[in-house]
Amino acid sequence: MKKLTFIFSISFMLAQVNYSGEVTAKSMTRISNKLQINLPYRIFSLNLGYTLGSIDINTVTGIEYRNKPSESNYVLREAYLAYYPEWGEVKFGKQIHAWGSADGNNPTDNINPYDYYYLFKIGEGRKIGVISFSTKLYFGNANLEGVIIPKYEKNRFPYGEKDFPLSIPTEPEIKYPVENEYEFGFRLQTTLGESDIGLSLFRGSDRAPSLRAGNITYEVEGGIPQIEPLLGYRETLVTGLDFVTFIGDLTLRGEAAHFRSRSPILKLNLFKTPLSLYEFQQDITYSQYVLQVEYTTNSDIILSGQLIGNSVLDEAYEWYHSSSIEYVDFPSPEFQPGMGNPIAMFSELALLLSSTGVLMDDRLELKSNIMVNLDEKGNMFSASIGYSPWINWKLETIITKFNGDKDDLDNTFTIMEDFSNLSFNIIYNF
C-alpha cells in the first residue's frame, strides 16, 4: 500500500499539470421593458489536464450561477482519459466531440446533445458531454474516427423558465424512455488536392422527445376523440458530407446531412396493454445543409456568409391500435426534428452574415451577426464590442435583437422578439 502511494505521488509529481479557466460576471437586460433577464450562466469554468507520457487526463468543470433566486450548481462537463499513441488517439470518458467543417452551424455534428440555455453560444459551450469511447486513426493524409456512446443523453431544455421565450411550462413526462441506449458513429476525413473532405455516419436516438403513442378516449360515443399524448424518442440515422476548400482568397466550407428518423419498436407487455392505447409510428426523412463562404480582408477582418437550409423530404406515419394491430386514421402532429442544427426551429432557409475584427493589438474586438430568414419574414441581429483594458481581462457589451412578423404569431422570430436584450459581461481568463 505504501509502495503504491509512493508510486502514485511520484507519478503525480512527474505528471505535467496544465490548466486554464475563466471567471465571468454577466448581466442581461430585456430591451422592451429594461428588466433583468434571469437565466443561469457559467460564472466559473476550469479546464484541468494531467499529462503523463502519452496519457492525458482532462476535466472541464464549472459553476453555473443564477441571480434570482441566487443559486449555484457545480457542473462536471467533461472528464476523460486520452491516450496518444503513434497512430492516433484513443479517448474514454465524458467528453464533447465536434464534427463538421462549417463554423457554428453543423448539421453533421450530432454526437453531443445541446444545452438550450446556451443556444446562442457557438462552439463547445452549448454542448453537453456524453460518456463515450472514441478512437481516431491517422494514416497519410486521412483520418478515421469511430465513436461509441453507451449511455444516452438528451438535450437540456429550459422548462418552466419564464425568461426564456421558447420555454415550455413543465417538463413533459417521457412515457417511453430510450431503451437501446447504444449509439455509434464514424467519420472519415481525407485531403484531396486543396480540399479536406469528410464523410460521416451516426446512429442514435433523437435528443428531443416526440409523440410515440396515445391514450385515446371518446368523450361521447360518436364524438371527437381525445388523445392523451405519450412521448418517446425516435431513432435516427444521419449520413453526412462536409468539406473545406479554397478558391482564390475565399475559403468555402460546407456540410450536408441526411436524416432518417423512425419510431422504435415498443416492448410492451401484451397483457398489460390498455385498450385505449394506440401507437403512432413515424418514418421521416429530412435533410439539412450549410454552405459557407469566408474571406479575410487585408486588415484581418473576417467576413463570413452562410446559407443554412433544412427540409422535410418524406413524411409517413401510421396510427394503430396496440392490442388489435388495427390501423386507425388519427391525424399526425407537426413534425419537429430531434437531431441536427438547432437553427432548424427558426427557419427552413436562412442567410447568416458575420464579421469579426480586432483592433488595437487585440484590445478591441468587434463582432456583428445578422441572420435573415429567407422563406418567411424574420431576422436576428447581434453586435458586440469587447474591450481588454488589461491583459486577460475583457469587458463585453452585446446587443441582440429579434424581429419577427407582427401578422404571424407562430413565427419563431416573432416569439423571440421579447427576448431582444443588452448584455454586459466582465471576463477574466487564467
- Separation between Cα atoms, residue 226 and residue 218, nearest integer Å: 6
User: Between residues 191 and 397, which has the closer beta carbon with respect to another protein?
Assistant: 191
Taking the complex as a whole, the smallest distance from the CB of residue 304 to another protein amounts, in Å, to 12
What's phi and psi for 330, nearest 5 deg? -80, 155
User: Between residues 72 and 217, which has the closer beta carbon with respect to another protein?
Assistant: 217
What's phi and psi for 2, nearest 5 deg? -65, -40
Taking the complex as a whole, the smallest distance from the CB of residue 314 to another protein amounts, in Å, to 8
User: Between residues 247 and 270, which has the closer beta carbon with respect to another protein?
Assistant: 247
Taking the complex as a whole, the smallest distance from the CB of residue 391 to another protein amounts, in Å, to 5
User: Between residues 216 and 415, which has the closer beta carbon with respect to another protein?
Assistant: 216
Q: Grid coordinates in use for 338? A: 430531434
- Separation between Cα atoms, residue 146 and residue 201, nearest integer Å: 10
Taking the complex as a whole, the smallest distance from the CB of residue 34 to another protein amounts, in Å, to 31
Taking the complex as a whole, the smallest distance from the CB of residue 271 to another protein amounts, in Å, to 25
User: Between residues 181 and 393, which has the closer beta carbon with respect to another protein?
Assistant: 393
User: Between residues 282 and 420, which has the closer beta carbon with respect to another protein?
Assistant: 282
b/e per residue 82-109 (b: at least 16 CB within 10 A): beeeeeebbbebbbbbebbbbbbbbbbb
Of 327, 276, 335, 344, residue with least CA distance to 105: 344
Instruction: Write down the residue that cell numbers 481581462 correspond to.
Output: 393
- State the DSSP code for 421: E
Q: Grid coordinates in use for 18? A: 496544465
**Helix or strand run (H / E) with residue 13:** helix 2-14
Taking the complex as a whole, the smallest distance from the CB of residue 50 to another protein amounts, in Å, to 11
